[in-house]
Amino acid sequence: MIYLDNAATSFPKPRSCVREMRRALRAPLGNPGRGGHRAALEAAQLVYRARCMTADFFDLADPARVVFCQNTTAALNTVLWGLLGAGKEEKSRVLVSVLEHNSVLRPLYELRRRGAVTLDFFVPCEDEEVCLARFCAALRPNTRLACVTCRSNVSGLAPPVFSLCRAAHKNRTLFLADAAQAAGFDDISMRRDGIDYLCAPAHKGLYGVTGLGILLVSPRAPLPKPLLYGGAGFAGERRQMPPLLPERLEAGTLPVHAIAALCGGLTFLRQEGRESIVRREQRHSARLFEGAEDAGCHLHSVRDAPMVTLTHPRFAPEELAEKLDRARIAARAGLHCAPLAHAALGTLESGALRLSVGAFTSRRQIERTLKVLRQILR
Partner 1 sequence: MDAILNVGSVTAAQKARQLLKKAGIFVEITRTRTAGCGYAVRVREEKKVLAAALLKEGGVRVKP
**Which residues are near partner 1 by CB under 8 A?**
32-33, 35-36, 41, 44-45, 47-48, 51-52, 62-64, 232-238, 242, 244, 246-247
- 243 vs 273 by CB, closer to partner 1: 243
- 242 vs 296 by CB, closer to partner 1: 242
CB of 231 to partner 1, least distance (A): 9
- 37 vs 371 by CB, closer to partner 1: 37
CB of 68 to partner 1, least distance (A): 11
Strands 92-97 and 143-149 come out as: parallel
DSSP 3-state of 310: strand
Residue 48 sits at φ, ψ, to 5 deg, of -65, -35
Residue 307 near residue 354 (C-beta atoms within 8 A): yes
CA distances from 98 to 109, 301, 338 (A): 13, 15, 8
Sign of CA dihedral 358, 364, 366, 369: negative
- 1 vs 61 by CB, closer to partner 1: 61
- 45 vs 375 by CB, closer to partner 1: 45
- 68 vs 197 by CB, closer to partner 1: 68
CB of 74 to partner 1, least distance (A): 19
- 242 vs 334 by CB, closer to partner 1: 242
Residue 299 sits at φ, ψ, to 5 deg, of -95, 135
CB of 33 to partner 1, least distance (A): 4
Secondary structure (DSSP) of 333-370: EE-TT-HHHHHHHT-TTT-EEEEE--TT--HHHHHHHH
Residue 305 sits at φ, ψ, to 5 deg, of -90, 160
> What is the rounded distance in angstroms from the CA atom of residue 156 to the CA atom of residue 38?
45
333 burial via Cβ count (<10 Å: 0-12, 13-18, 19+): buried
- The count of other CB atoms within 10 Å of the CB of residue 24 is 20
Residue 266 near residue 57 (C-beta atoms within 8 A): yes
CB of 97 to partner 1, least distance (A): 33
- 238 vs 270 by CB, closer to partner 1: 238
- 43 vs 202 by CB, closer to partner 1: 43
CB of 36 to partner 1, least distance (A): 4
CB of 47 to partner 1, least distance (A): 8
CB of 139 to partner 1, least distance (A): 32
Of 67, 103, 287, nearest to 178 by C-alpha is 103
CB of 265 to partner 1, least distance (A): 21
Angle at CA 282, nearest 5°, toward 132 and 130?
15
> What is the rounded distance in angstroms from the CA atom of residue 184 to the CA atom of residue 221?
23
| First-residue to last-residue Cα distance in the chain | 23
